[in-house]
Structure 1
Amino acid sequence: MFTFASVKPRAAFFVVILVVFVLLLLRSARVVPAGHVGVLDLFGNVRPEALPSGLHFVNPLARVHRMSVQTHEVKETMDTPSSEGLIVHLDVSILYHLDPAKATDVYRTIGRDYETVLVKPNVRSAVREVTSSYQAKALYSPEREKMSSEINQHIIAAVEPRGMVIERMLLRDVALPLRLQQAIQEKLSAEQEAARMQFVLLKEKQEAERKKIEAEGISSFQKIVAEGINDNLLKWKGIEATKELALSHNSKVVIIGSGKEGLPVILGGDTNPPAGQPAPIPHR
């Protein structure tokens, strides 16, 4: 029969050592999940390098704090004044993630709740600072993109040196008092109509210039043609026409002697009378 008393003390010692070793091995094995890094803290002493995702064996007495390096979204809804003192309602979203290389610094200087301590306050501060330098109508004009870019740059300048990486800033919604919205829309519509009329006037002016140039071209052409037609040309054309008539096979009567400068007069004759008319009776 087996009893503990029958086990040799030396063998029992090795069994105890083996059990303790297994327990320590299990205790020292730490798994850092994907999308996280591990910050090793041993009695307040933080290891300079963060542990990447995967299986690690560390001091059993140390604590491994998991910190996410995945993309997070911060949503802020706030009422902030514009440059003219109007209260503007804004919905803002920030996409960011923790810089893995600075995870240990963030843990030491800010802690694990860096979103509440660092990110959100700086988002609110940047939105208020930038919005206060723009008029309310900028939120309904192309300047909105410029304002969003400035807010993004302010946030980057405030949080990236502390270990946060800003991916994108989204200005999701803007709300003004209804009467002010209508006034801004009417003003923007009037400005667009004025710009359209300027375009129409410019187009009409260009068309008038085109017609003027066209008229000048026609006038120049007529002047050149008029200068090219003289008496000698007309006489030559008359001679050509007379020659063609004289060479035709139709019977004709040629009258010569219409003056020194005149051309022969050719009267065409037709031996066959027109249909429906009696032939002339010759005189005896």
Structure 2
Amino acid sequence: MAYNDPLRMQFPKFSVWKGSGKFFLWIIIVIALVIFAIASFYGFKNPYTPPGHEGYIKRGAIVGQVTYYGSQVGPASTGLGWLLYVENIDFRWRTFSEKFMVMSADNLELNFNAHVVMRPKPGSVKEIVEIYGGENWYDRTIAEPFRNAVYEAVAGYKALEAKDKREIIADNVRKKFNSYLTGKPFQVASIVVGTINLPQKVAQSQELKIAKQTELEQKDFEIEIEKKNKEMKIIEAEGIAAAQKIINETLTPQYLQHEAIQAQIQMANSPNHTTVYIPSGANGIPLVKTVP
């Protein structure tokens, strides 16, 4: 006689459970692989530091705080690691420029630029990141002390004096700035103070003064030239007078007659000559002087 067994209806055969178990196992494996792939993609890193940089390497944490892992000098990479990150700091020489408007000792407004060439000291990346603001170390900790050094160096000068002493001012800035940097991980190569621009009225007055001075110098130069020309004319006149004196002393009738005879001899010996009759004196010599 057929009947329905409640137990058989509630519990499927073992073969059915066995097939379902394999299916769920594969699902779990696939999910685990996907999770591992995602974790590997986002979790395993190979941080790279380019040339001229130093890298501050940190290890992240799923739970807890990020910790310092180490440093590297570029070009370099850490190799594949779990939750590794790098903050790269540029250690090359760079120029930083600042604009200034400073009141001089005589209360005139001076406008100019100042430039500093500097860099972090090699090997100090950990200190740069943890104390001095990382890649923005100049703006965060250095710009203001540099500006203060420039203000102090320029403020004691009068306007025209400051304009002509830029190199001395730059040297004073360097001394003050290096004093501030003592014990800090930075190096300074040079400091340059640009052209100091005076107020327009002062600049125009200075230009007019220079123009007048140049004009006076030009006139003095022209006067000197005239003096030299006068001296040359005097010397030339004296030379002519001396020459005339010598000629007058040596140009006698006998000398002239001698020169005339020499000329006749040359004409007679020339193949191309024309006979010329010249009135002559008692001795057959051409007359060079008429005796009254």
Q: TM-score range by the shorter chain?
A: 0.5 to 0.7
**Match of residue 201 from structure 1:** 223
RMSD over aligned CA atoms reads: 5.0
TM-score normalised per structure 1 = 0.59
Which amino acid in structure 2 is aligned with residue 121 of structure 1? E
**Match of residue 30 from structure 1:** 47
Q: Which moved more, 1:127-136 or 1:235-244?
A: 235-244
- Match for 1:191 among 202, 213, 217? 213
Cα distance in 1 between the residues matched to 2:146 and 2:79? 39
**Match of residue 121 from structure 1:** 144
Cα distance in 2 between the residues matched to 1:102 and 1:4? 57
**Match of residue 57 from structure 2:** 40
**Match of residue 79 from structure 1:** 101
**Match of residue 64 from structure 1:** 86
Matched, 1:180 2:197: no
Matched, 1:90 2:111: yes
Cα distance in 2 between the residues matched to 1:220 and 1:264? 30
- CA contact under 8 A between 1:39 and 1:66: conserved in structure 2? yes
Cα distance in 1 between the residues matched to 2:169 and 2:88? 33
Cα distance in 1 between the residues matched to 2:224 and 2:280? 65
- CA 1:132–1:191 in structure 2 vs 1: closer, same or farther (change >3 Å)? farther
- CA contact under 8 A between 1:69 and 1:97: conserved in structure 2? no
Which amino acid in structure 2 is aligned with residue 163 of structure 1? F
**Match of residue 133 from structure 2:** 111
Q: CA deviation at 1:244?
A: 9.6
- CA 1:219–1:152 in structure 2 vs 1: closer, same or farther (change >3 Å)? farther
Task: Give a deviation string over 1:208-261, Cα, whole Å, max 9, x none.
Answer: 44434434443444344344434531342355578899997567776749xxxx
Matched, 1:132 2:149: no
TM-score normalised per structure 2 = 0.58
- CA contact under 8 A between 1:70 and 1:98: conserved in structure 2? yes
Task: Give a deviation string over 1:140-179, Cα, whole Å, max 9, x none.
Answer: 6xx3764686478558846697425557747377351x43
- CA 1:179–1:251 in structure 2 vs 1: closer, same or farther (change >3 Å)? closer
Cα distance in 1 between the residues matched to 2:275 and 2:203? 91
Which amino acid in structure 1 is aligned with residue 111 of structure 2? L
Secondary structure, counterpart of 1:101 in structure 2: coil
Q: Which moved more, 1:30-39 or 1:116-125?
A: 30-39
- CA 1:33–1:252 in structure 2 vs 1: closer, same or farther (change >3 Å)? closer
Sequence identity percentage: 16
**Match of residue 275 from structure 1:** none
Matched, 1:101 2:118: no
Provide structure 2 residue ranges, at least 5 long, that are not aligned to the other structure. Answer: 1-18, 60-65
- CA contact under 8 A between 1:75 and 1:91: conserved in structure 2? no
Cα distance in 2 between the residues matched to 1:108 and 1:254? 122
Cα distance in 1 between the residues matched to 2:195 and 2:242? 64
Q: CA deviation at 1:106?
A: 3.2
Provide structure 1 residue ranges, at least 5 long, that are not aligned to the other structure. Answer: 267-284
Which amino acid in structure 1 is aligned with residue 159 of structure 2? A
Q: CA deviation at 1:120?
A: 1.6
**Match of residue 9 from structure 2:** none
- CA contact under 8 A between 2:154 and 2:162: conserved in structure 1? no
Which amino acid in structure 2 is aligned with residue 123 of structure 1? F
- CA contact under 8 A between 1:31 and 1:53: conserved in structure 2? yes
- CA contact under 8 A between 2:45 and 2:80: conserved in structure 1? yes
- CA 1:194–1:131 in structure 2 vs 1: closer, same or farther (change >3 Å)? farther
- CA contact under 8 A between 1:242 and 1:264: conserved in structure 2? no
